[in-house]
Structure 1
Protein backbone atom coordinates (compact mmCIF):
# COMPACT_ATOMS: atom_id res chain seq x y z
CA UNK A 1 0.00 0.00 0.00
CA UNK A 2 1.16 3.52 -0.71
CA UNK A 3 -0.14 6.85 0.57
CA UNK A 4 0.54 10.07 -1.28
CA UNK A 5 1.92 12.84 0.92
CA UNK A 6 2.36 16.50 -0.12
CA UNK A 7 5.92 17.79 -0.11
CA UNK A 8 5.35 21.52 -0.52
CA UNK A 9 7.94 23.53 -2.39
CA UNK A 10 7.17 25.88 -5.28
CA UNK A 11 7.06 25.34 -9.04
CA UNK A 12 9.71 27.07 -11.17
CA UNK A 13 9.07 30.53 -12.61
CA UNK A 14 8.86 28.90 -16.04
CA UNK A 15 5.75 26.91 -15.08
CA UNK A 16 2.37 27.78 -16.59
CA UNK A 17 -0.25 29.18 -14.25
CA UNK A 18 -3.07 27.14 -15.82
CA UNK A 19 -3.97 24.23 -13.55
CA UNK A 20 -6.82 21.83 -12.76
CA UNK A 21 -8.13 23.60 -9.63
CA UNK A 22 -11.81 24.53 -9.77
CA UNK A 23 -14.51 25.64 -7.34
CA UNK A 24 -18.14 25.16 -8.35
CA UNK A 25 -21.49 25.15 -6.58
CA UNK A 26 -21.65 21.33 -6.42
CA UNK A 27 -17.98 20.52 -5.82
CA UNK A 28 -14.44 21.76 -5.29
CA UNK A 29 -11.40 20.14 -6.87
CA UNK A 30 -7.95 20.84 -5.36
CA UNK A 31 -5.15 19.19 -7.36
CA UNK A 32 -1.96 18.13 -5.63
CA UNK A 33 0.00 20.92 -7.32
CA UNK A 34 -1.87 23.48 -5.20
CA UNK A 35 -0.42 22.16 -1.92
CA UNK A 36 2.63 24.43 -1.87
CA UNK A 37 4.59 26.10 0.92
CA UNK A 38 2.89 29.49 0.62
CA UNK A 39 -0.63 28.12 1.26
CA UNK A 40 0.18 26.47 4.61
CA UNK A 41 -1.06 27.65 8.01
CA UNK A 42 0.40 27.47 11.50
CA UNK A 43 -1.98 26.31 14.23
CA UNK A 44 -2.20 27.53 17.85
CA UNK A 45 -0.88 24.97 20.31
CA UNK A 46 1.32 23.19 17.74
CA UNK A 47 5.09 23.45 17.41
CA UNK A 48 7.22 22.78 14.31
CA UNK A 49 4.02 22.03 12.38
CA UNK A 50 2.42 23.34 9.22
CA UNK A 51 -1.04 22.57 7.85
CA UNK A 52 -2.76 22.48 4.49
CA UNK A 53 -6.44 23.18 5.15
CA UNK A 54 -8.48 21.34 2.52
CA UNK A 55 -12.01 21.95 3.80
CA UNK A 56 -13.73 24.12 6.39
CA UNK A 57 -17.33 25.22 7.02
CA UNK A 58 -17.92 28.13 4.62
CA UNK A 59 -20.65 28.85 2.05
CA UNK A 60 -18.38 27.61 -0.76
CA UNK A 61 -16.83 24.64 1.07
CA UNK A 62 -17.87 22.02 3.62
CA UNK A 63 -20.88 22.29 5.93
CA UNK A 64 -20.30 19.51 8.48
CA UNK A 65 -16.53 19.07 8.83
CA UNK A 66 -12.99 20.33 8.37
CA UNK A 67 -10.07 18.44 6.88
CA UNK A 68 -6.39 19.25 7.21
CA UNK A 69 -3.08 17.68 6.23
CA UNK A 70 -0.50 18.32 8.92
CA UNK A 71 3.26 17.98 8.52
CA UNK A 72 5.13 17.77 11.83
CA UNK A 73 8.89 18.20 11.86
CA UNK A 74 11.08 16.20 14.27
CA UNK A 75 10.52 17.47 17.80
CA UNK A 76 7.17 19.05 16.94
CA UNK A 77 3.63 18.28 18.00
CA UNK A 78 0.87 19.46 20.32
CA UNK A 79 -0.04 18.74 23.92
CA UNK A 80 -3.69 19.67 23.34
CA UNK A 81 -4.49 19.55 19.62
CA UNK A 82 -8.28 19.77 19.97
CA UNK A 83 -9.31 22.93 21.77
CA UNK A 84 -13.06 22.83 21.04
CA UNK A 85 -15.52 21.05 23.31
CA UNK A 86 -17.70 18.40 21.70
CA UNK A 87 -15.54 17.87 18.61
CA UNK A 88 -14.60 14.40 17.41
CA UNK A 89 -11.85 13.56 14.95
CA UNK A 90 -9.96 11.04 12.87
CA UNK A 91 -6.22 10.96 12.33
CA UNK A 92 -4.77 8.99 9.40
CA UNK A 93 -0.99 8.84 8.93
CA UNK A 94 0.54 8.83 5.43
CA UNK A 95 4.26 9.31 6.17
CA UNK A 96 6.70 9.05 9.06
CA UNK A 97 5.79 8.00 12.59
CA UNK A 98 3.36 9.83 14.86
CA UNK A 99 3.39 9.33 18.63
CA UNK A 100 -0.21 9.59 19.82
CA UNK A 101 -1.06 9.66 23.52
CA UNK A 102 -4.77 8.88 23.82
CA UNK A 103 -6.50 8.80 27.22
CA UNK A 104 -3.16 8.09 28.88
CA UNK A 105 -2.00 5.31 26.50
CA UNK A 106 0.83 5.85 24.02
CA UNK A 107 0.58 4.59 20.43
CA UNK A 108 2.98 4.97 17.51
CA UNK A 109 1.14 5.38 14.22
CA UNK A 110 3.07 4.67 11.04
CA UNK A 111 1.76 4.96 7.45
CA UNK A 112 -1.73 3.46 7.43
CA UNK A 113 -2.22 4.20 11.14
CA UNK A 114 -5.76 5.34 12.01
CA UNK A 115 -7.21 6.77 15.21
CA UNK A 116 -10.77 7.78 16.03
CA UNK A 117 -10.77 10.51 18.68
CA UNK A 118 -14.06 10.62 20.54
CA UNK A 119 -15.58 13.93 21.66
CA UNK A 120 -14.05 14.80 25.00
CA UNK A 121 -11.06 12.49 24.57
CA UNK A 122 -7.75 13.63 26.03
CA UNK A 123 -5.00 13.26 23.46
CA UNK A 124 -1.66 14.65 22.38
CA UNK A 125 0.68 14.03 19.48
CA UNK A 126 4.40 14.34 18.81
CA UNK A 127 7.04 13.49 16.24
CA UNK A 128 9.77 11.74 18.21
CA UNK A 129 11.61 10.56 15.10
CA UNK A 130 14.23 11.98 12.76
CA UNK A 131 12.00 12.53 9.71
CA UNK A 132 8.87 14.63 9.16
CA UNK A 133 5.54 12.91 9.72
CA UNK A 134 2.39 13.71 7.80
CA UNK A 135 -1.23 12.90 8.58
CA UNK A 136 -4.82 13.82 7.80
CA UNK A 137 -6.93 15.28 10.57
CA UNK A 138 -10.69 15.29 9.99
CA UNK A 139 -12.85 17.09 12.57
CA UNK A 140 -16.59 17.24 13.14
CA UNK A 141 -18.83 18.65 15.87
CA UNK A 142 -20.41 15.54 17.35
CA UNK A 143 -24.20 15.43 17.14
CA UNK A 144 -25.71 13.50 20.08
CA UNK A 145 -28.81 11.41 19.46
CA UNK A 146 -31.49 10.55 22.02
CA UNK A 147 -31.03 7.03 23.35
CA UNK A 148 -27.65 6.58 21.68
CA UNK A 149 -24.38 6.74 23.61
CA UNK A 150 -21.30 8.56 22.36
CA UNK A 151 -18.69 6.45 20.54
CA UNK A 152 -15.40 5.42 22.16
CA UNK A 153 -11.93 6.26 20.88
CA UNK A 154 -9.88 3.55 19.18
CA UNK A 155 -6.63 3.01 17.25
CA UNK A 156 -6.13 0.65 14.33
CA UNK A 157 -4.37 0.39 10.93
CA UNK A 158 -5.45 0.28 7.31
CA UNK A 159 -3.41 -2.92 6.98
CA UNK A 160 -5.49 -4.64 9.69
CA UNK A 161 -8.93 -3.84 8.24
CA UNK A 162 -10.23 -6.28 5.65
CA UNK A 163 -11.80 -4.45 2.69
CA UNK A 164 -15.43 -5.44 2.18
CA UNK A 165 -16.36 -5.96 -1.44
CA UNK A 166 -19.42 -4.11 -2.64
CA UNK A 167 -22.01 -6.69 -3.78
CA UNK A 168 -22.08 -7.65 -7.48
CA UNK A 169 -18.97 -6.01 -9.05
CA UNK A 170 -16.76 -9.13 -8.59
CA UNK A 171 -14.28 -7.54 -6.19
CA UNK A 172 -13.55 -4.51 -8.37
CA UNK A 173 -14.93 -2.14 -5.71
CA UNK A 174 -14.35 -2.53 -1.96
CA UNK A 175 -14.46 -0.41 1.20
CA UNK A 176 -12.27 -0.61 4.29
CA UNK A 177 -14.73 0.30 7.06
CA UNK A 178 -13.16 1.37 10.33
CA UNK A 179 -16.49 1.38 12.19
CA UNK A 180 -19.61 -0.74 11.87
CA UNK A 181 -22.09 1.13 9.63
CA UNK A 182 -24.93 -0.10 11.88
CA UNK A 183 -23.39 1.53 14.97
CA UNK A 184 -25.56 4.63 15.41
CA UNK A 185 -23.18 6.13 17.95
CA UNK A 186 -21.04 7.27 15.02
CA UNK A 187 -22.33 10.28 13.10
CA UNK A 188 -19.44 10.29 10.63
CA UNK A 189 -17.50 7.64 8.76
CA UNK A 190 -13.96 7.97 7.47
CA UNK A 191 -13.24 4.95 5.29
CA UNK A 192 -10.85 3.91 2.52
CA UNK A 193 -12.36 2.99 -0.82
CA UNK A 194 -10.43 0.81 -3.29
CA UNK A 195 -11.10 0.22 -6.97
CA UNK A 196 -9.13 -2.25 -9.02
CA UNK A 197 -8.02 -0.94 -12.44
CA UNK A 198 -11.09 -0.73 -14.63
CA UNK A 199 -13.50 -0.81 -11.68
CA UNK A 200 -16.24 1.79 -11.52
CA UNK A 201 -19.13 3.32 -9.65
CA UNK A 202 -21.64 2.39 -12.35
CA UNK A 203 -24.29 5.00 -11.55
CA UNK A 204 -24.39 8.65 -10.53
CA UNK A 205 -24.67 8.58 -6.73
CA UNK A 206 -26.84 11.50 -5.63
CA UNK A 207 -27.27 11.61 -1.85
CA UNK A 208 -27.50 13.80 1.21
CA UNK A 209 -24.04 12.96 2.60
CA UNK A 210 -21.24 15.34 1.70
CA UNK A 211 -17.77 13.95 1.01
CA UNK A 212 -14.17 14.88 1.52
CA UNK A 213 -12.19 12.61 -0.80
CA UNK A 214 -8.37 12.51 -0.80
CA UNK A 215 -6.72 10.27 -3.40
CA UNK A 216 -4.10 8.11 -1.67
CA UNK A 217 -3.01 6.00 -4.64
CA UNK A 218 -3.63 5.55 -8.36
CA UNK A 219 -5.72 7.54 -10.81
CA UNK A 220 -9.26 7.72 -12.16
CA UNK A 221 -11.74 9.86 -14.04
CA UNK A 222 -14.47 11.12 -11.71
CA UNK A 223 -17.95 12.32 -12.63
CA UNK A 224 -18.70 15.44 -10.57
CA UNK A 225 -22.16 16.88 -11.26
CA UNK A 226 -22.01 17.32 -15.07
CA UNK A 227 -18.19 17.28 -15.44
CA UNK A 228 -15.71 14.45 -15.96
CA UNK A 229 -12.53 15.24 -14.02
CA UNK A 230 -9.25 13.31 -14.09
CA UNK A 231 -7.75 12.80 -10.65
CA UNK A 232 -4.61 11.16 -9.29
CA UNK A 233 -2.82 10.48 -6.03
CA UNK A 234 -2.56 13.69 -4.03
CA UNK A 235 -5.71 15.34 -5.41
CA UNK A 236 -8.61 16.37 -3.15
CA UNK A 237 -12.31 16.42 -4.03
CA UNK A 238 -14.97 18.09 -1.90
CA UNK A 239 -18.44 16.90 -2.92
CA UNK A 240 -21.36 18.80 -1.48
CA UNK A 241 -24.67 17.20 -0.59
CA UNK A 242 -26.54 15.79 -3.60
CA UNK A 243 -23.64 16.30 -6.03
CA UNK A 244 -24.00 13.48 -8.62
CA UNK A 245 -20.84 11.36 -8.53
CA UNK A 246 -19.39 8.31 -10.27
CA UNK A 247 -15.95 7.15 -11.43
CA UNK A 248 -13.89 4.85 -13.60
CA UNK A 249 -10.57 3.71 -12.12
CA UNK A 250 -7.50 3.75 -14.36
CA UNK A 251 -4.37 1.63 -14.12
CA UNK A 252 -1.88 0.25 -13.64
CA UNK A 253 -2.35 0.17 -9.83
CA UNK A 254 -5.45 0.26 -7.60
CA UNK A 255 -7.25 3.56 -7.14
CA UNK A 256 -7.67 4.27 -3.41
CA UNK A 257 -9.01 7.25 -1.51
CA UNK A 258 -9.72 8.36 2.05
CA UNK A 259 -13.42 9.23 2.25
CA UNK A 260 -15.36 11.30 4.80
CA UNK A 261 -19.15 11.30 5.01
CA UNK A 262 -21.73 12.42 7.57
CA UNK A 263 -24.20 9.67 8.50
CA UNK A 264 -26.77 8.26 10.93
CA UNK A 265 -28.63 11.38 12.01
CA UNK A 266 -32.11 12.78 11.41
CA UNK A 267 -32.30 16.03 9.45
CA UNK A 268 -32.63 18.99 11.82
CA UNK A 269 -35.46 21.38 10.92
CA UNK A 270 -35.47 23.51 14.08
CA UNK A 271 -32.70 25.26 16.02
Structure 2
Protein backbone atom coordinates (compact mmCIF):
# COMPACT_ATOMS: atom_id res chain seq x y z
CA UNK A 1 0.00 0.00 0.00
CA UNK A 2 1.04 3.63 -0.29
CA UNK A 3 3.20 5.16 2.49
CA UNK A 4 1.64 6.31 5.74
CA UNK A 5 0.33 9.86 5.83
CA UNK A 6 1.14 12.53 8.40
CA UNK A 7 -1.24 12.57 11.36
CA UNK A 8 -3.12 15.70 10.27
CA UNK A 9 -6.45 16.43 8.57
CA UNK A 10 -6.41 16.89 4.81
CA UNK A 11 -6.86 20.39 3.43
CA UNK A 12 -10.63 20.12 3.11
CA UNK A 13 -10.93 19.12 6.80
CA UNK A 14 -12.00 15.50 6.27
CA UNK A 15 -9.75 13.44 8.51
CA UNK A 16 -8.09 10.45 6.85
CA UNK A 17 -6.44 7.56 8.78
CA UNK A 18 -2.67 7.57 8.58
CA UNK A 19 -2.06 3.82 8.84
CA UNK A 20 1.39 2.74 10.00
CA UNK A 21 2.21 1.39 13.46
CA UNK A 22 2.93 3.34 16.65
CA UNK A 23 6.51 3.30 17.97
CA UNK A 24 7.58 0.77 20.58
CA UNK A 25 8.06 3.67 22.99
CA UNK A 26 4.32 4.46 23.10
CA UNK A 27 2.28 3.79 26.21
CA UNK A 28 -0.34 1.09 25.66
CA UNK A 29 -3.22 2.74 27.52
CA UNK A 30 -5.51 4.58 25.11
CA UNK A 31 -9.08 5.80 24.65
CA UNK A 32 -10.64 2.69 23.05
CA UNK A 33 -13.82 1.56 24.84
CA UNK A 34 -16.40 -1.17 24.31
CA UNK A 35 -19.41 -1.11 26.65
CA UNK A 36 -22.90 -2.58 26.64
CA UNK A 37 -24.24 0.65 25.11
CA UNK A 38 -21.47 2.12 22.93
CA UNK A 39 -18.00 1.63 21.52
CA UNK A 40 -15.24 4.17 20.85
CA UNK A 41 -12.63 3.36 18.20
CA UNK A 42 -10.06 6.18 18.40
CA UNK A 43 -8.01 7.13 15.38
CA UNK A 44 -4.82 5.88 16.99
CA UNK A 45 -5.91 2.24 16.71
CA UNK A 46 -6.54 2.40 12.94
CA UNK A 47 -3.11 0.99 12.21
CA UNK A 48 -1.94 -1.26 9.39
CA UNK A 49 -2.23 -4.39 11.53
CA UNK A 50 -6.03 -4.12 11.86
CA UNK A 51 -6.85 -3.71 8.16
CA UNK A 52 -8.76 -6.37 6.22
CA UNK A 53 -8.85 -7.58 2.63
CA UNK A 54 -12.05 -8.51 0.80
CA UNK A 55 -12.76 -10.75 -2.22
CA UNK A 56 -12.76 -9.26 -5.73
CA UNK A 57 -10.95 -6.05 -4.70
CA UNK A 58 -7.50 -5.09 -5.97
CA UNK A 59 -5.14 -2.48 -4.52
CA UNK A 60 -7.46 -2.04 -1.54
CA UNK A 61 -7.52 -2.37 2.20
CA UNK A 62 -10.35 -1.89 4.68
CA UNK A 63 -10.71 -0.67 8.24
CA UNK A 64 -13.89 -2.36 9.50
CA UNK A 65 -15.45 0.11 11.95
CA UNK A 66 -18.78 -1.65 12.54
CA UNK A 67 -20.55 -4.88 11.66
CA UNK A 68 -23.84 -6.44 12.80
CA UNK A 69 -23.27 -7.88 16.26
CA UNK A 70 -26.02 -9.73 18.10
CA UNK A 71 -26.98 -7.96 21.32
CA UNK A 72 -25.31 -4.72 20.26
CA UNK A 73 -25.87 -2.83 16.96
CA UNK A 74 -27.46 -5.04 14.35
CA UNK A 75 -28.45 -3.03 11.27
CA UNK A 76 -25.29 -1.92 9.46
CA UNK A 77 -21.61 -2.25 8.69
CA UNK A 78 -19.19 0.58 8.00
CA UNK A 79 -15.74 0.52 6.42
CA UNK A 80 -13.01 3.00 5.67
CA UNK A 81 -11.66 1.93 2.27
CA UNK A 82 -8.21 2.92 1.04
CA UNK A 83 -7.47 2.41 -2.65
CA UNK A 84 -4.16 2.57 -4.43
CA UNK A 85 -4.13 4.42 -7.77
CA UNK A 86 -6.28 2.35 -10.17
CA UNK A 87 -7.35 0.11 -7.30
CA UNK A 88 -10.98 -0.90 -7.00
CA UNK A 89 -13.38 -3.70 -7.86
CA UNK A 90 -15.59 -4.98 -10.66
CA UNK A 91 -17.67 -6.84 -8.06
CA UNK A 92 -17.54 -4.72 -4.90
CA UNK A 93 -20.79 -5.91 -3.28
CA UNK A 94 -21.40 -9.65 -3.03
CA UNK A 95 -24.70 -9.42 -1.10
CA UNK A 96 -27.67 -8.75 -3.45
CA UNK A 97 -29.77 -7.51 -0.51
CA UNK A 98 -27.25 -4.88 0.64
CA UNK A 99 -27.72 -1.19 -0.14
CA UNK A 100 -24.69 1.06 0.12
CA UNK A 101 -23.58 4.64 0.62
CA UNK A 102 -20.13 6.01 -0.23
CA UNK A 103 -18.62 9.25 1.10
CA UNK A 104 -15.26 10.34 -0.30
CA UNK A 105 -12.72 11.88 2.08
CA UNK A 106 -9.59 11.90 -0.10
CA UNK A 107 -8.75 11.64 -3.80
CA UNK A 108 -11.18 10.71 -6.54
CA UNK A 109 -12.98 7.61 -7.77
CA UNK A 110 -15.11 6.66 -10.73
CA UNK A 111 -18.26 4.70 -9.92
CA UNK A 112 -19.86 2.91 -12.87
CA UNK A 113 -23.58 2.15 -12.58
CA UNK A 114 -26.11 1.14 -15.25
CA UNK A 115 -23.63 1.80 -18.04
CA UNK A 116 -22.73 5.31 -16.91
CA UNK A 117 -19.65 6.65 -15.13
CA UNK A 118 -19.74 9.14 -12.29
CA UNK A 119 -16.66 10.81 -10.83
CA UNK A 120 -16.59 11.59 -7.12
CA UNK A 121 -14.00 13.71 -5.32
CA UNK A 122 -13.60 14.80 -1.68
CA UNK A 123 -17.04 15.52 -0.27
CA UNK A 124 -18.76 13.40 -2.92
CA UNK A 125 -21.54 11.01 -1.95
CA UNK A 126 -23.52 8.31 -3.68
CA UNK A 127 -26.37 6.01 -2.71
CA UNK A 128 -26.42 2.55 -4.32
CA UNK A 129 -29.68 0.55 -4.02
CA UNK A 130 -29.69 -3.13 -3.16
CA UNK A 131 -29.06 -5.26 -6.23
CA UNK A 132 -27.17 -2.52 -8.09
CA UNK A 133 -24.56 -3.69 -10.55
CA UNK A 134 -21.81 -1.17 -9.81
CA UNK A 135 -18.04 -1.00 -10.07
CA UNK A 136 -15.48 1.40 -8.61
CA UNK A 137 -11.95 2.51 -9.46
CA UNK A 138 -9.56 5.08 -8.00
CA UNK A 139 -8.81 7.50 -10.82
CA UNK A 140 -6.63 10.10 -9.09
CA UNK A 141 -2.85 10.02 -9.02
CA UNK A 142 -2.75 9.55 -5.26
CA UNK A 143 -5.42 6.90 -4.79
CA UNK A 144 -8.57 7.40 -2.78
CA UNK A 145 -10.09 6.98 0.69
CA UNK A 146 -13.83 6.70 1.32
CA UNK A 147 -16.39 5.53 3.83
CA UNK A 148 -18.65 2.66 2.77
CA UNK A 149 -21.85 2.12 4.76
CA UNK A 150 -23.80 -1.09 4.06
CA UNK A 151 -27.25 -2.13 5.22
CA UNK A 152 -29.66 -4.93 4.33
CA UNK A 153 -32.52 -3.08 2.65
CA UNK A 154 -35.91 -3.53 4.33
CA UNK A 155 -38.41 -3.59 1.46
CA UNK A 156 -42.03 -2.66 2.10
CA UNK A 157 -44.83 -4.07 -0.06
CA UNK A 158 -46.38 -1.25 -2.08
CA UNK A 159 -43.40 1.08 -1.58
CA UNK A 160 -40.85 1.25 -4.42
CA UNK A 161 -37.16 0.99 -3.72
CA UNK A 162 -35.14 4.23 -3.75
CA UNK A 163 -33.16 5.19 -6.83
CA UNK A 164 -29.42 5.57 -7.00
CA UNK A 165 -28.16 9.14 -6.74
CA UNK A 166 -24.88 11.06 -6.74
CA UNK A 167 -24.24 14.36 -5.01
CA UNK A 168 -21.69 16.23 -2.89
CA UNK A 169 -21.69 17.92 0.46
CA UNK A 170 -20.88 21.12 -1.39
CA UNK A 171 -24.15 20.90 -3.35
CA UNK A 172 -26.38 20.65 -0.26
CA UNK A 173 -27.40 23.54 1.98
CA UNK A 174 -27.03 22.53 5.60
CA UNK A 175 -30.28 22.73 7.57
CA UNK A 176 -29.99 24.73 10.78
CA UNK A 177 -31.54 23.07 13.80
CA UNK A 178 -34.37 25.13 15.31
CA UNK A 179 -33.50 27.86 17.82
CA UNK A 180 -29.73 27.39 17.49
CA UNK A 181 -28.80 30.43 15.34
CA UNK A 182 -26.79 28.17 13.07
CA UNK A 183 -24.63 26.74 15.86
CA UNK A 184 -25.93 23.24 15.07
CA UNK A 185 -26.67 22.22 11.49
CA UNK A 186 -27.21 19.03 9.51
CA UNK A 187 -26.29 18.24 5.90
CA UNK A 188 -28.80 15.60 4.79
CA UNK A 189 -27.87 13.36 1.86
CA UNK A 190 -31.26 11.57 1.88
CA UNK A 191 -34.57 13.43 1.82
CA UNK A 192 -36.07 12.88 5.31
CA UNK A 193 -39.57 12.84 3.78
CA UNK A 194 -38.73 10.02 1.35
CA UNK A 195 -39.97 6.88 3.13
CA UNK A 196 -38.42 4.65 0.49
CA UNK A 197 -35.18 5.08 2.40
CA UNK A 198 -34.62 2.93 5.47
CA UNK A 199 -31.37 4.65 6.44
CA UNK A 200 -30.10 8.20 6.57
CA UNK A 201 -26.54 9.43 6.16
CA UNK A 202 -25.83 13.01 7.21
CA UNK A 203 -23.03 15.33 8.26
CA UNK A 204 -23.60 17.07 11.58
CA UNK A 205 -21.77 20.36 12.19
CA UNK A 206 -21.47 22.00 15.60
CA UNK A 207 -19.71 25.34 15.80
CA UNK A 208 -17.16 25.83 18.63
CA UNK A 209 -19.03 25.91 21.91
CA UNK A 210 -22.29 24.57 20.45
CA UNK A 211 -24.10 21.74 22.20
CA UNK A 212 -26.64 19.00 21.73
CA UNK A 213 -28.32 20.08 24.96
CA UNK A 214 -30.09 16.90 26.05
CA UNK A 215 -29.43 13.16 26.20
CA UNK A 216 -31.03 11.87 23.02
CA UNK A 217 -32.44 8.42 23.81
CA UNK A 218 -34.00 6.74 20.78
CA UNK A 219 -34.41 3.58 18.73
CA UNK A 220 -31.96 4.49 15.94
CA UNK A 221 -28.54 2.88 15.88
CA UNK A 222 -25.64 5.16 15.04
CA UNK A 223 -22.24 5.14 13.47
CA UNK A 224 -20.45 8.49 13.94
CA UNK A 225 -17.07 9.20 12.34
CA UNK A 226 -15.50 12.51 13.37
CA UNK A 227 -14.42 14.34 10.21
CA UNK A 228 -13.07 17.51 11.83
CA UNK A 229 -12.42 19.11 15.20
CA UNK A 230 -12.98 17.71 18.66
CA UNK A 231 -15.76 17.45 21.20
CA UNK A 232 -16.96 15.79 24.37
CA UNK A 233 -19.77 13.22 24.20
CA UNK A 234 -22.04 12.19 27.06
CA UNK A 235 -22.77 8.51 26.40
CA UNK A 236 -24.85 6.46 28.84
CA UNK A 237 -23.72 8.65 31.78
CA UNK A 238 -20.04 8.62 30.77
CA UNK A 239 -18.14 11.62 29.42
CA UNK A 240 -15.85 10.73 26.50
CA UNK A 241 -13.50 13.05 24.60
CA UNK A 242 -13.36 12.50 20.84
CA UNK A 243 -11.43 14.08 17.98
CA UNK A 244 -11.09 13.96 14.20
CA UNK A 245 -10.56 10.37 13.09
CA UNK A 246 -12.44 8.75 15.99
CA UNK A 247 -15.46 6.48 15.43
CA UNK A 248 -18.42 6.10 17.80
CA UNK A 249 -20.72 3.10 17.54
CA UNK A 250 -23.97 3.55 19.48
CA UNK A 251 -26.61 0.88 19.99
CA UNK A 252 -30.31 1.67 20.11
CA UNK A 253 -31.43 3.73 23.15
CA UNK A 254 -27.89 4.71 24.20
CA UNK A 255 -28.31 8.18 25.80
CA UNK A 256 -26.18 10.69 23.88
CA UNK A 257 -25.40 14.40 24.02
CA UNK A 258 -22.30 16.46 23.27
CA UNK A 259 -20.61 19.83 23.09
CA UNK A 260 -18.02 21.06 20.60
CA UNK A 261 -14.60 22.08 21.85
CA UNK A 262 -11.54 23.59 20.26
CA UNK A 263 -11.05 26.40 17.75
CA UNK A 264 -12.72 24.79 14.70
CA UNK A 265 -16.12 23.23 13.97
CA UNK A 266 -16.85 19.75 15.28
CA UNK A 267 -18.17 17.70 12.35
CA UNK A 268 -19.08 14.05 11.97
CA UNK A 269 -20.50 11.65 9.40
CA UNK A 270 -23.63 10.03 10.88
CA UNK A 271 -25.53 6.84 10.02
CA UNK A 272 -28.93 5.93 11.44
CA UNK A 273 -31.68 3.45 10.58
CA UNK A 274 -35.12 5.02 9.99
CA UNK A 275 -38.64 4.72 8.56
CA UNK A 276 -39.43 1.07 9.33
CA UNK A 277 -41.51 -0.86 11.82
CA UNK A 278 -39.53 -2.64 14.51
CA UNK A 279 -39.23 -6.32 13.50
CA UNK A 280 -41.19 -8.59 15.82
CA UNK A 281 -40.08 -12.11 16.75
Q: TM-score range by the shorter chain?
A: over 0.9
Displaced runs of 4 or more, over 4 A? none
Indicate whether 1:265 and 2:265 are aligned.
no
CA distance in 1 between counterparts of 2:270 and 2:139 reads: 28
Q: Is the 8 A contact 1:99 1:127 kept in 2?
A: yes
What is the DSSP-based 3-state SS (H/G/I as helix, E as strand, rest coil) of the residue aligned with 2:49? helix
Aligned to 2:208: 197
Cα offsets for 1:92-132 (capped at 9, x unmatched): 00001111112211111111010000111111001122212
Structure 1 segment 222-237 matched on structure 2, within 5 A: 222-237=233-248
Aligned to 1:256: 267
What is the DSSP-based 3-state SS (H/G/I as helix, E as strand, rest coil) of the residue aligned with 2:82? strand
Q: CA deviation at 1:62?
A: 2.6
Aligned to 2:251: 240
Structure 1 segment 21-60 matched on structure 2, within 5 A: 21-59=32-70
What is the DSSP-based 3-state SS (H/G/I as helix, E as strand, rest coil) of the residue aligned with 1:97? strand
- Report the number of matched residues: 270
Q: Is the 8 A contact 2:86 2:143 kept in 1?
A: no
CA distance in 2 between counterparts of 1:129 and 1:195 reads: 31
CA distance in 2 between counterparts of 1:75 and 1:249 reads: 38
Cα offsets for 1:227-246 (capped at 9, x unmatched): 11000000000010000000
Indicate whether 1:138 and 2:145 are aligned.
no
Please, which of 168, 173, 196 is the counterpart of residue 185 of structure 1? 196
What is the DSSP-based 3-state SS (H/G/I as helix, E as strand, rest coil) of the residue aligned with 1:43? coil
TM-score, normalised via structure 1 length: 0.98
Cα offsets for 1:212-261 (capped at 9, x unmatched): 00000011000111111000000000010000000000121111100000
* 175-184 or 135-144, larger mean C-alpha shift: 175-184
TM-score, normalised via structure 2 length: 0.94
Structure 1 segment 66-77 matched on structure 2, within 5 A: 66-77=77-88
Name structure 1 gaps, 5 residues minimum. none
CA distance in 2 between counterparts of 1:147 and 1:55 reads: 31
Aligned to 2:19: 8
Q: CA deviation at 1:61?
A: 4.8
CA distance in 2 between counterparts of 1:146 and 1:60 reads: 28
CA distance in 2 between counterparts of 1:62 and 1:84 reads: 19
Q: Is the 8 A contact 1:199 1:249 kept in 2?
A: yes
Across the aligned residues of Structure 1 and Structure 2, the Cα RMSD in angstroms comes to: 0.9
Name structure 2 gaps, 5 residues minimum. 1-11
Q: Is the 8 A contact 1:28 1:61 kept in 2?
A: no
CA distance in 2 between counterparts of 1:267 and 1:75 reads: 42
Structure 1 segment 204-223 matched on structure 2, within 5 A: 204-223=215-234
